């Protein structure tokens, strides 16, 4: 189980994801719509992920990330719920569709959970690690059967926590941490406005 600023997320041994919150001010943090009969304060499954086996989840601030057994990355929540900055992947939300709600609410579950495409040198990559801080996220990924490796970051960067050079106020899409290109990542951790990456120096090509 992990916790963000307002939401709890639990991962079962079967790879199912449940969310709940006592605070309804930021509904997207649930990764799902709160229906009558499924109050937000009790654990309920995230419908978008119901047919996907998730291997680990991470939360920080108002953002939650999940990685599937196939190395797919999923995000939900807000990069910054009180500011103007948000991830590009979150821009298509149900409140900007100008459409009426569907008869089946699950038809629009991708308005809450977004799959984030990750590529290395134009090749589809699998995500091996993910970490979430207070408004920023780091991921490690591999492509070409592990022969190509990269670390990516996005989100709040004013304290240098993204590791991409300088202190950009906000980065809305994944940017490579060039200093870690080709490194075999053993672990990632983000907390607050800081990030840590552990690499295997003995695995250098």
Confidence (pLDDT) at 86: 85
Q: Are residues 14 and 96 in the same domain?
A: yes
Q: Are residues 127 and 94 in the same domain?
A: no
Q: Are residues 28 and 65 in the same domain?
A: yes
Classify strands 148-156 and 185-191 as parallel, antiparallel or unpaired: unpaired
Domain count, the chain: 2
Q: Are residues 13 and 108 in the same domain?
A: yes
Task: Find all residues with CB under 8 Å of 96, minimum gap 6, and list them.
Answer: none
Confidence (pLDDT) at 61: 93
Side-chain half-sphere exposure of 172, counting CA atoms within 13 A = 8
Per-residue CA distances from 73 to 36, 65, 119 (Å): 29, 7, 12
With a cut of 70, list the residues of the chain below it in pLDDT: 35-39, 83, 92-109, 203-205
Q: Are residues 22 and 2 in the same domain?
A: yes
Q: Are residues 61 and 90 in the same domain?
A: yes
Q: Are residues 69 and 146 in the same domain?
A: no
Q: Are residues 159 and 199 in the same domain?
A: yes
Q: Are residues 110 and 20 in the same domain?
A: yes
Q: Are residues 95 and 148 in the same domain?
A: no
Instruction: Tell me which residue range forms the domain holding 6.
Output: 1-116
Q: Are residues 56 and 6 in the same domain?
A: yes
Confidence (pLDDT) at 25: 85
**Is residue 155 a contact partner of residue 135, using CB atoms and an 8 Å limit?**
yes
Per-residue CA distances from 149 to 55, 140, 155, 161 (Å): 20, 8, 21, 20
Q: Tokens for 185, please give them.
A: 């990542």
Distance from C-alpha of 83 to C-alpha of 189, rounded to nearest angstrom: 24
Domain boundary among 72, 88, 116: 116
Confidence (pLDDT) at 95: 43
Q: How many helices (H) and strands (E) does the chain have?
A: 0, 16
pLDDT tens digits, residue range 23-72?
Answer: 888 888 999 987 555 568 889 999 999 999 999 999 999 999 999 999 99
Confidence (pLDDT) at 108: 56
Q: Where are the beta strands (DSSP E) in the chain?
A: 2-3, 8-11, 17-20, 44-45, 54-60, 63-68, 73-77, 114-116, 119-120, 123-124, 126-132, 136-143, 148-156, 170-176, 185-191, 194-199
Which residue do the tokens 């590009």 mark?
88
Domain boundary among 87, 116, 145: 116
Domain boundary among 95, 116, 137: 116
Quick one: which of 66, 34, 12 has its CA closest to 20?
34
Q: Are residues 110 and 130 in the same domain?
A: no
């Amino acid at each position: 189980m992990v916790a963000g600023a307002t939401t709890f997320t639990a991962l079962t041994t079967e790879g199912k994801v449940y969310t709940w919150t006592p605070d309804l001010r930021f509904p997207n943090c649930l990764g799902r719509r709160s229906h009558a009969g499924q109050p937000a304060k009790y654990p309920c499954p995230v419908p978008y992920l119901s047919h996907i086996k998730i291997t680990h989840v991470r939360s920080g601030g108002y953002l939650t990330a999940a990685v599937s057994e196939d190395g797919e990355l999923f995000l939900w929540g807000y990069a910054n719920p009180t500011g103007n900055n948000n991830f590009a992947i979150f821009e298509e939300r149900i409140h900007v569709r100008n459409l009426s709600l569907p008869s089946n609410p699950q038809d629009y579950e991708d308005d809450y959970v977004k799959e984030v495409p990750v590529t290395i040198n134009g090749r589809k990559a699998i995500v091996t690690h993910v970490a979430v801080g207070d408004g920023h996220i780091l991921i490690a990924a591999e492509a070409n059967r592990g022969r190509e490796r990269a670390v990516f970051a996005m989100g709040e960067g004013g304290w240098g926590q993204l590791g991409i050079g300088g202190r950009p106020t906000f980065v809305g899409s994944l940017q490579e941490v060039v200093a870690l290109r080709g490194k075999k990542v053993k672990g990632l951790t983000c907390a607050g406005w800081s990030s840590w990456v552990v690499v295997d120096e003995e695995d250098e090509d």
